[in-house]
Amino acid sequence: MHELLLFASVSSHQHHELLQQLTGLTAMQPRHSLERRLIFKATRKPGLANTRGGASQGADIVRLNKMLNGQMFYTQVVGPVSEADFDGKSSSSESQDASMSGTDEVAGSSYDYDSQPWKLEFRDIPEAGIRSTITARLAASAALPKGDVVPSMNAWGYSFVTEYVVEGDVFIHNDIVIFLHRVLQYSVHPGQEPHEPRRQLPSFRELSPLERTGSYILQAAITVQDGGNQELMRTASQHLFGLREQLKSAVRLEHADRLSLDTRAK
Amino acid sequence: MTTPSPDQIKTLEQSRQRLIQLTHSLGSLITSLNQSDPLPSWPSLQTQASIISNNLQSISTHLSENHELLRSISALPAPEFPTKTHGNTLEQLLRTKLDPRVEDWVSRGRKADNAAAQNAASSSGSAGMFSTLPSATAGGLGAGVTGAGAGGLSEGDLAALWEWAPVEANAEARKRSWGGNFTLEERERGIESVVAELGLRRVLEDDEESEEEEEEDMDLDFGGKAEGAGDNAGAAAGEQVSPVVPMNDILRYMTTGILPAVR
């Protein structure tokens, strides 16, 4: 599965207007979306295969080795949440006490970490060169079991790095998914970086945008099931360029810096 | 006495042609002023004036180019000239002095020219040739020159004015902050009275007020939306802030969790 992407930076004062413009363009109301995103990083090579197995075994073995001994990647675990999950009380000392004493977070918050659905999203580094005017990358997703994902992820050789919340609105325009979003961070006291995903969520008001001025990112994406089909890829690119033309007077959609979407773990 | 060469005749003929053109255009201007009611529109007057001025210019160049010849040439009646029937024309042609009216025009023109020193030479050159011209057309030319010269300011004064004006206008403009259809003084006096005073027919919006209104509207919009997003959105609302963190850094954070500042 391949993703073709264009991005644009949207300043906060333009956000409201752009929402209306997109509503008009796509003839649909924005679908508000809130996601918890956990970032995991591969800590060890996924597998150890004997690379000197002999040349006679052919191309399959070469490919297998490449997969197993290939580069390590960052990967994301995404869980949809709703604003109701962000309960004001959970950050108060009272509810911290409650959770420490093991009386369960249900007392203070409606958010139930154990029934949080998760999805694993893998994104390759964008392809180099060929389509320099558009960001194209290999993408794959898979559903994960509900609840605590950390043990499973650890077992696969991934360790938790950080988490944030993505707030935004989704529009669908023909085959293009338009996502106008921004990153919200949890307020973290210095030196108290959590080493695992939060089991409870703080009040929504305590989240602060990563970009202090509150700007948004507009992402236009087309997913192509068969990335090897050049015809499909070309059509998809043209659709994105068409959207870029339509939005030209409002925002400037462009491809992202390839290295900023580099998911390889060094 | 020598008979004039074909070249000299040609020159004289050209002078005549141009003067005819000039009298024609002057005549048509006079007729249009006399006859049309209401007066001809500004554009048509302008067009006629520029035609006349072109005529004058071409005559002036022509005369100064052939200065020598026209100065030295003099008219004498041939024996076969029909003196009895065209005595009037003959008298005009044989005049050595200018018609008193024309004399007046020329002296007025000279006076105006003296003020503009640079123009004096060419003007007196052309004025000096009037002796060889039929008085009626010379009068027309003289009047044109006088009209042009009576502008008031000399070239030097004009140049000085142009040098002074842009600097001064700029300095004056910098003293004020611009935007809006009314000055602060006018606003203090009350816009209605100013409008009545100036006789403004169209109601000009007072920009300052409408801007304030717009800002309030924006605040309301953001206020409504900010309910969910919390204070952070409210803080940024209303101001036109461009993002400080580059998009690529945000994308990098989203991909790998590396904070923009840390890099």
Q: Is B204 among the domain residues? A: no
Model pLDDT, residue A67: 56
Considering the domain architecture, whether residues B165 and B97 belong to the same structural domain is answered as no
What are residue B116's phi and psi, to 5 degrees? Answer: -95, 95
What are residue B7's phi and psi, to 5 degrees? Answer: -60, -45
**For helices B100-115 and B117-128, what crossing angle results, to 10°?**
160
Considering the domain architecture, whether residues B61 and B26 belong to the same structural domain is answered as yes
Residues in chain A with CB shorter than 8 Å from the CB of B242 are 11, 213, 215
Q: Is B263 among the domain residues? A: no
Considering the domain architecture, whether residues B46 and B80 belong to the same structural domain is answered as yes
Q: Quote the ipTM score.
A: 0.78
A146 alpha-carbon distance from chain centroid: 18
CB-based contact B130:B98 (threshold 8 Å):
yes
Q: How far apart are CA A100 and CA A95, in angstroms?
A: 8
Quickly count: other Cβ atoms within 10 Å of residue A140's Cβ.
13
Q: Is B11 among the domain residues? A: yes
For chain A, domains (ranges, CATH) are: 2-265 (2.40.320.10)
Considering the domain architecture, whether residues B73 and B187 belong to the same structural domain is answered as no
Considering the domain architecture, whether residues B103 and B172 belong to the same structural domain is answered as no
Model pLDDT, residue A241: 92
B256: Cβ contacts below 8 Å, ≥ 6 apart: A39, A41, A74, A161, A262, A263, A265
Q: Is B262 among the domain residues? A: no
Considering the domain architecture, whether residues B173 and B219 belong to the same structural domain is answered as no
To 5 degrees, how large is the angle CA B47–CA B51–CA B56? 145
User: Which comes out higher in pLDDT, residue B24 or A43?
Assistant: B24
Considering the domain architecture, whether residues B86 and B171 belong to the same structural domain is answered as no
For testing the chain B interface, which of A3, A10, A13 should be mutated: the one with the most B CBs within 10 Å?
A13
Beta strands in A111-151 (DSSP E): 118-123, 135-144
Structure tokens of B141?
Answer: 């030319």
Considering the domain architecture, whether residues B106 and B27 belong to the same structural domain is answered as yes
Full-model pTM: 0.49
Residues in chain B with CB shorter than 8 Å from the CB of A164 are 253-254, 257
CB-based contact A40:A160 (threshold 8 Å):
yes
Q: How far apart are CA B19 and CA B141, in angstroms?
A: 9
pLDDT digits (tens, 9 = 90+) for B215-262: 444 444 443 333 333 444 344 344 456 777 888 888 888 888 888 764
Model pLDDT, residue A105: 41
Q: Which A residues, 80 through 99, put their C-beta within 8 Å of a C-beta on chain B? A: 83
**The amino acid at B224:** G
Q: How far apart are CA B16 and CA B75, in angstroms?
A: 14
- How many separate domains does chain B show? 3
Query: Among B153, B171, B189, which residue terminates a domain?
Result: B153
Three-state DSSP class for residue A266: coil
Q: Give the chain A residue whose CA is nearest to the CA of B233.
A: A214
Q: Is B1 among the domain residues? A: no
Rounded to an integer, the average pLDDT of A118-135 is: 82
pLDDT digits (tens, 9 = 90+) for A185-213: 888 777 677 788 888 888 888 888 888 88
Considering the domain architecture, whether residues B59 and B89 belong to the same structural domain is answered as yes
Q: Give the chain B residue whose CA is nearest to the CA of A124.
A: B255
Q: Is B234 among the domain residues? A: yes
Exposed/middle/buried for residue B176 (C-beta within 10 Å: 0-12, 13-18, 19+)? exposed
Q: How far apart are CA A175 and CA A3, in angstroms?
A: 12
Least confident of A164-168, A226-230, B168-172, B221-225: B221-225
Rounded to an integer, the average pLDDT of B171-180 is: 75
Model pLDDT, residue B236: 39
Q: Is B203 among the domain residues? A: no
Whether A41 has its CB under 8 Å from any CB of chain B: the answer is: yes
Burial B239-256 (b: 16+ CB within 10 A, else e): eebebebebbbbbbbbbb
Percent of all residues in chain A with a pLDDT value above 90, rounded to a whole number: 31
Whether A46 has its CB under 8 Å from any CB of chain B: the answer is: no
What pLDDT band is residue B122 in, cutting at 50, 70 and 90?
A: very low
Q: Give the chain B residue whose CA is nearest to the CA of A259.
A: B252
B202 pLDDT more than 90? no
Considering the domain architecture, whether residues B187 and B238 belong to the same structural domain is answered as no
Q: Is B118 among the domain residues? A: yes
Whether B255 has its CB under 8 Å from any CB of chain A: the answer is: yes
Considering the domain architecture, whether residues B187 and B251 belong to the same structural domain is answered as no
What is the rounded average pLDDT for all residues in chain A? 81
Exposed/middle/buried for residue B112 (C-beta within 10 Å: 0-12, 13-18, 19+)? buried
Exposed/middle/buried for residue A218 (C-beta within 10 Å: 0-12, 13-18, 19+)? buried
Place of tokens 């300095």: B171
Considering the domain architecture, whether residues B61 and B169 belong to the same structural domain is answered as no
Cα–Cα distance list, A66 to A14, A46, A56, A63, A264 (Å)? 46, 11, 16, 5, 15
B149 pLDDT more than 60? no
* Structural domain for B175, as ranges: 156-198
